[in-house]
Amino acid sequence: MAKFVGRGVNVGFGKETTRGTSVAPSSWFAKTSISFDDKMETVVDEGNYGTIVDSTGHEVVKRFSEGEIMGSLGVNSISLPLYAMLGAVTTATASGTAKTHTMTLSESYQSPSLTIAMDDPVQDKRFALGVINTMTIKVEPKKYVEVSMTFMGKQGVNSSETVAFTEDYLLKATHTNILFASDLAGLDVAVAGGTCIKSFELTLERTLSEDECISSIAPSDYISTVFAISGSMEVTYENEADYKTKALTGTTQAMRISILNGDVIIGGGTASPELEIDLAKVGFTEWSRTVSTNEIVTQSVGFKGFYSIADAKAIIARLTNTVASI
């Protein structure tokens, strides 16, 4: 078998119709790095057999898959992972053949499962019951928006994959605006503030509990027990009112992360590629200032998303792309 480099490994996603039963990938994700792969747990025989050696053997007691997949955020290729993260979607025509997929958080403890396909020079694999654990969206100057995702699933089984990348539309830092309003309704008329946001990070997390059965060393399911929203920003320090005062007083507000590539028209109409995420209720839970003699003074702001009783939701995402359905 010939040696190869990481760019020879490709990853795709398929939406499972029967939970835990693998399907062919319907889209491929242009990863920049991947650690997702087969994993195992073992038990060691720690019995005393009349020797100073600590054990006489071990057994594999669990086989599963786990790890991270990272890449630039494209509005087409992020469709299935974002759906798996939130769990509910409705689709409408944006313009021409472009679609807007509105995703809301499902209250089901069984979040959608994907099959994760891996095209590999050594051996192609399909990992069924791929359940997303975390999704982090990171925005930094002079870069594409980055997305990193962690998954858990079943052990991979051998497959034969045909890689078929389609046109995607990547989003950049310069496409990004962070907006605030007193409530969700106010976000539609909010304008971006004048404070310079130097970097931004949003993390969505599902705490997963494995449903283990004594009859098998494979996971029977992964159950979502808690959904959490958190993030951070580095911001140029220009006043106290925007962040410090709100952190100290426990003020909450709605936040919109709008990432719109207005330079591109998709679907033969007037729509542009866009990811828009609204957080109904956000509080600044951490604040600190960095003062160095010859550096611009900045502030680090940590935030947490909460469930808004008034809006009956915590998060809503709108994804405009050329994917017909999710």
Q: How far apart are CA 231 and CA 16, in angstroms?
A: 30
Q: How far apart are CA 96 and CA 322, in angstroms?
A: 10
Q: How far apart are CA 184 and CA 190, in angstroms?
A: 10
In the prediction, which pLDDT does 228 show? 98
In the prediction, which pLDDT does 195 show? 84
Classify residue 22 by its DSSP letter. Answer: -
Domain that holds residue 120: 9-39+60-321
Q: Report the candidate in 271, 146, 289, 260 with the shortest Cα–Cα distance to residue 192.
A: 260
CB neighbour list of residue 8: distance below 8 Å, 6 or more residues apart:
120, 121
Beta strand residue intervals within the chain, DSSP E: 10-15, 27-29, 31-34, 37-44, 58-72, 87-95, 98-105, 114-119, 125-139, 146-153, 157-158, 176-181, 197-211, 221-236, 252-260, 274-290, 298-306, 315-321
80-123 pLDDT tens trace: 999 999 999 999 999 999 999 999 999 999 999 999 999 999 99
Task: Flag whether 114 is in a domain.
Answer: yes
In the prediction, which pLDDT does 191 show? 81
β-partners of residue 160 are: none
In the prediction, which pLDDT does 36 show? 98
In the prediction, which pLDDT does 1 show? 64
In the prediction, which pLDDT does 153 show? 98
Contact 312, 188 (CB under 8 A): no
pLDDT < 50: residue spans in the chain = none
Classify residue 308 by its DSSP letter. Answer: B
Quote the pTM value. Answer: 0.95
Relative to beta strand 221-236, strand 197-211 is: antiparallel
Task: Flag whether 2 is in a domain.
Answer: no
In the prediction, which pLDDT does 69 show? 98
Task: Flag whether 246 is in a domain.
Answer: yes
Task: Flag whether 1 is in a domain.
Answer: no
Give whole-number Cα distances, 146 to 54, 81, 203, in Å: 46, 14, 12
Count structural domains, the chain. Answer: 1
β-partners of residue 229 are: 204, 305
Task: Flag whether 248 is in a domain.
Answer: yes
Half-sphere exposure of 48 (CA within 13 A, CB side): 2
Task: Flag whether 47 is in a domain.
Answer: no
